[in-house]
């Protein structure tokens, strides 16, 4: 089968090569024919930057998101099932003809999604779901059909700020926070993405090219502080998020521990201040899939590339200008 491969743990380049089909070695392994996949920003540096999280024996195939067809399996999934998932970063990814996700990671693709949209969904949607409803303080019961009145009332008391709202994860954060009934959804993004995030449910937009988060908050003091702030950018942006989160609120980041970037002199005491790594849970993806099929949320695709255009796909991703997910077609069916 064809596959992409990092030559070594210290390399950030990729080569296109061939390899034998993967062989299941775990009772939960499911052999899947991959039709489309999606890379993640920074993933070619994972083994360098997070060596403890990447096993020494990992086959360095990139792209942990997949959409494909079950080939051989037992139990819940059957040959021919259309499935998608996020494969754990500890195992080989999906930039190859066949991959080995685990049944616990898989969910069936909503009928309304094609291969490309399905491949664009798992990582971004799961990260947003867990940031808001597992690590954050919104109640997922507020997005159920009709919504729990109590949950929506609680969510309605929470202003949510999303730093990096125009990207793959950010677009899901905006949609899910709005759907859950958050009191406000503040989207921090560039001006070229303002209309898109408003269409997804943002009630306010902060143009980071014109103002910092700190200066924006200072423009109207306590009224602009938020009970839940989610950062997907890191660095100075994460440091600026301390100005936006209210005392007693929650600050969640997928880039770094917020306390490590707490500005000097900030004395707020937060209910939650944490960095987390997404769990590739098929059960969460099933819930998201129901919302997709009901037309209540949708994936955002920036661009689609053929398998042999993988270098251009990663360049687009690394440019920082992608408006949603970058997807690579693996099979001719995608």
Same domain, 117 and 131: no
Q: What mean pLDDT is predicted for residues 240-260?
A: 97
pLDDT at 145 over 70: no
What CATH number is given to the structural domain containing 47?
A: 3.90.180.10
With respect to residue 294, please indicate whether it lies within any of the assigned structural domains. no
With respect to residue 36, please indicate whether it lies within any of the assigned structural domains. yes
Number of domains into which the chain is organized: 2
Q: Which domain holds residue 227?
A: 125-275
> Given this model, what pLDDT does residue 322 score?
84
Q: pLDDT, tens digit, for every residue of 255-290?
A: 999 999 999 999 999 999 999 999 999 999 999 999
Q: pLDDT, tens digit, for every residue of 85-121?
A: 999 999 999 999 999 999 999 999 999 999 999 999 9
With respect to residue 100, please indicate whether it lies within any of the assigned structural domains. yes
Same domain, 49 and 154: no
**pLDDT mean across residues, the chain:** 95
Same domain, 112 and 137: no
Per-residue confidence band for 147, with pLDDT thresholds at 50, 70 and 90: low
pLDDT at 191 over 80: yes
With respect to residue 284, please indicate whether it lies within any of the assigned structural domains. no
Sign of CA dihedral 92, 96, 102, 108: positive
Same domain, 270 and 158: yes
With respect to residue 113, please indicate whether it lies within any of the assigned structural domains. yes
Same domain, 196 and 234: yes
């Amino acid at each position: 089968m064809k596959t992409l491969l990092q030559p070594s743990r210290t390399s950030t380049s990729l080569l296109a090569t061939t390899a034998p089909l993967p062989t299941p070695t775990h009772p939960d392994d499911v052999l899947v024919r991959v039709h489309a996949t999606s890379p993640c920003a920074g993933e070619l540096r994972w083994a360098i930057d997070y060596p403890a999280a990447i096993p020494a024996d990992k086959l360095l195939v990139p792209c942990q998101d997949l959409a494909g067809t079950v080939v051989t399996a037992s139990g819940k999934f059957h040959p021919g099932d259309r499935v998608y998932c996020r494969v754990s970063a500890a195992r080989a990814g999906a930039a190859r003809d066949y991959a080995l996700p685990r049944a616990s990671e898989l969910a069936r693709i909503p009928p309304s999604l094609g291969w490309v949209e399905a491949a664009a969904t798992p990582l971004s949607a799961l990260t947003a779901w867990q940031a808001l409803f597992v690590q954050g303080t919104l109640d997922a019961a507020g997005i159920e059909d009709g919504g729990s009145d109590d949950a929506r009332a609680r969510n309605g008391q929470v202003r949510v700020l999303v730093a990096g709202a125009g990207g793959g994860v950010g677009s899901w954060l905006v949609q899910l926070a709005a759907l859950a009934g958050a009191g406000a959804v503040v989207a921090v993004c560039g001006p070229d993405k303002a209309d898109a995030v408003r269409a997804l449910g943002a009630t306010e937009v902060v143009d980071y090219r014109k103002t910092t988060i700190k200066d924006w908050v200072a423009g109207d003091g306590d009224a602009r502080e938020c009970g839940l702030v989610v950062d997907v950018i890191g660095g100075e942006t994460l440091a600026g998020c301390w100005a936006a989160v209210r005392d007693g609120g929650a600050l969640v980041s997928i880039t770094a521990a917020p306390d490590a970037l707490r500005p000097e002199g900030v004395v707020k005491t937060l209910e939650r201040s944490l960095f987390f790594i997404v769990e590739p849970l098929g059960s969460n993806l099933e819930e998201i899939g129901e919302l997709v099929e009901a037309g209540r949320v949708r994936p955002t695709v920036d661009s689609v590339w053929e398998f042999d255009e993988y270098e251009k796909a990663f360049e687009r991703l690394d440019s920082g200008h992608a408006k949603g997910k970058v997807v690579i077609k693996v099979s001719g069916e995608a």
